[in-house]
Structure 1
């Protein structure tokens, strides 16, 4: 377990690389909807960025398993600690689901999943117009959910940085705690977590 109170350099690099890619995907997505003339170019950019995010999410999960994140501060209320853990599970689920849904959607639509002009991913599913329609809707709804989760994640990070000042934000931003994060045993009068 990571008892240093901060994320290692590799975890921070993965986090911020993914943040940049997700921000780029947000602009690409808005552009795909807003501009018919740029749509083909943006779709050609959207697919490899999505697959890059999938690969980074898998690497990040494997790294998280090998090098667990630092514990949350002992002063964090149980409900907030639960919300933090649940929101991270939801974020990872959405980060994995989005590109897989996109890949499956294009496969069901009979569209090639081109990464470059010379390389395409194999189809995940057989062509099926009804399934394509369902997966297209799912891809959109998970996209909205992911956007909401990212806003929630950013708001929570700023809450830790500006309100609580408990070192959680600094642990990812700079790789060290700005304050000492106490991870002592809970108060004996507090009921155990279930």
Structure 2
């Protein structure tokens, strides 16, 4: 996750200059729901142009500063370099909008950009498509995602193939799988074989 931010008071905000040095200016009150909508309207075209999907955007307060959390994703997943690039583009878009006089956020903000975690609900076709081969739980069923198209998902449920439309599905959740200990590869078999060879050779002239 990358963090970027913008500090400093807005031009024309002169009320702080008239306050005493000992009195901190009050944080401006902002409708966070409206602020989230404004942020989304600015950054979504930028993210889509860069080839990513905007999965979520949240705006909250941390003292006098806004915290803008953005989740992006794409086929094949997001790399750290991708996060750094899209963070710069989002920050530039927000700053440019405000410089043109279109207020998005009042005061300072901190930008955090990342990708969704494994606990993100699967609600859209692209979410299911990006989890082919994984075990998921949905509507009381647990099965492995075999195939996905724009209308349905094909699951392998205990060896039985089931095709379910998105209208029949609720939010899915990826299940964490652990390898059985008897299937695990500890990578030490060669070392054991080598030790056996050494032991077999001991005492020989």
Which range, TM-score by smaller chain? under 0.3
When the two structures are superposed, what TM-score results if normalisation uses the length of structure 2? 0.22
The structure whose residues are more often helix, as a share, is: 1
Structure ranking higher in strand proportion: 2
Larger-gyration structure (1/2) = 2
